[in-house]
């Protein structure tokens, strides 16, 4: 991976890590489904009037928008609302890296090298260590929803590869047009008019900052950067870099929402960094899916 793309990957993962505790600040004031709907409304409008639609089939835009708007971020926000600490959510979503590696081998016949397999094993140990040492109690449903969102993210990565999109920023903007309507509808069906009627009073400085960060940082910048990397490199090389997100997420959660990591969590973060270093090493392919 070129140095400029590696720097981009680190910046993207840092912003995504920050996004989890900052999102929690917004969720303290706004219903999770409504917050997600507003986020993607602002990500699409007014930008679709200034950004030309990407040259891909409409089905890819709709599919990706629904996956990463409804199946991913709405579930993450609900999970955090149900008690999953933002640092733990940043951790659990990284199981998408393992799903994505599997999709890369299964669908695109990508190869896994010995360093990648070793890195996966070390990272898995680190992820479980962080989960075991994370403070705060979360409901089983909340944890399950975040894990489902991780699977959804991996499917979204596959959509990017299959669509062969070139105009990455335009793809993110136009895909953001599809999640708001089903999210607004779900919020109304599940909670009635209460989230909507109380919205004006809930839009204070903190919630507005949270929304702005989610829209322009976590959506426009991060998905542009991440999808660009997926376009340029095999999914098996890009996916492991997302394991930096829980490191940034845990550190920023300590500062923003005072979620202090314990000794086990710190050791697990170090293990994840070691896993990344190992996984980025060159090596001979040891596993490749072949024709039946």
Is it the case that residue 280 has pLDDT exceeding 60? yes
pLDDT (0 to 100) of residue 273: 75
Give φ, ψ of 164 to 5 degrees: 55, 35
Type and span of the H or E element at 287: strand 285-288
Distance between CA 105 and CA 18 in Å, rounded? 31
Distance between CA 218 and CA 291 in Å, rounded? 39
Q: Give the up-direction half-sphere exposure of residue 138: CA atoms within 13 A in the CB hemisphere.
A: 28
Lookup: tokens for 216:
């322009």
Confidence band for 292, pLDDT divided at 50, 70 and 90: very low
Is it the case that residue 22 has pLDDT exceeding 90? yes
Model confidence pLDDT, tens digit, residues 231-246: 888 766 787 787 788 8
Is it the case that residue 134 has pLDDT exceeding 70? no
DSSP letter, residue 176: T
Is it the case that residue 32 has pLDDT exceeding 60? yes
Is residue 257 within 8 A of residue 37, CB to CB? The reply is: no
Is it the case that residue 139 has pLDDT exceeding 60? yes
Lookup: tokens for 290:
């072949």
Q: Which residues contact 268 (CB under 8 A, 6 or more apart)?
A: 125, 126, 127, 128, 129, 130, 133
Q: Which residues contact 182 (CB under 8 A, 6 or more apart)?
A: 66, 70
Model confidence pLDDT, tens digit, residues 85-99: 888 788 778 777 777
Cβ count near 187 (within 10 Å): 22
Least confident of 18-27, 162-171, 240-249, 275-284: 275-284
Is it the case that residue 291 has pLDDT exceeding 60? no
Model confidence pLDDT, tens digit, residues 193-226: 988 988 888 889 999 999 999 999 998 999 888 8
Model confidence pLDDT, tens digit, residues 47-88: 999 999 999 999 999 999 999 899 999 999 999 998 888 887
Confidence band for 278, pLDDT divided at 50, 70 and 90: confident
């Amino acid at each position: 991976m070129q140095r400029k793309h590696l720097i981009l990957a680190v910046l993207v993962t840092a912003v995504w890590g920050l996004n989890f505790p900052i999102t929690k600040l917004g969720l303290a004031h706004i219903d999770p489904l409504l917050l997600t709907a507003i986020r993607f409304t602002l990500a699409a409008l007014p930008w679709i009037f200034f950004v030309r639609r990407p040259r891909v089939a409409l089905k890819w835009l709709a599919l990706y928008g629904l996956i990463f708007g409804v199946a991913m971020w709405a579930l993450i926000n609900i999970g955090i609302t149900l008690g999953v600490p933002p640092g733990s959510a940043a951790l659990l979503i990284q199981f998408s890296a393992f799903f994505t590696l599997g999709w890369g081998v299964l669908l695109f016949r990508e190869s896994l090298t010995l360093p990648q397999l070793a890195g996966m094993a070390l990272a898995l140990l680190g992820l479980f260590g962080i989960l075991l040492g994370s403070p705060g109690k979360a409901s089983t449903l909340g944890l399950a929803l975040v894990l489902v969102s991780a699977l959804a993210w991996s499917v979204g990565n596959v959509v990017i590869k299959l669509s062969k999109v070139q105009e990455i920023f335009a793809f993110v903007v136009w895909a953001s047009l599809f999640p708001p309507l089903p999210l607004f509808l779900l919020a109304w069906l599940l909670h009635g008019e209460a989230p909507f009627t109380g919205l004006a009073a809930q839009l204070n400085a903190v919630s507005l900052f949270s929304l702005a960060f989610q829209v322009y940082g976590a959506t426009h910048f991060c998905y542009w950067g991440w999808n660009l990397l997926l376009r340029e490199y095999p999914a098996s090389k890009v996916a492991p870099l997302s394991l930096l997100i829980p490191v940034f997420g845990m550190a920023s959660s300590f500062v923003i929402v005072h979620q202090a990591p314990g000794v086990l969590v710190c050791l697990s973060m170090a293990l994840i960094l070691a896993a990344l270093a190992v996984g980025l090493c060159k090596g001979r392919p040891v596993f490749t899916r072949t024709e039946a």
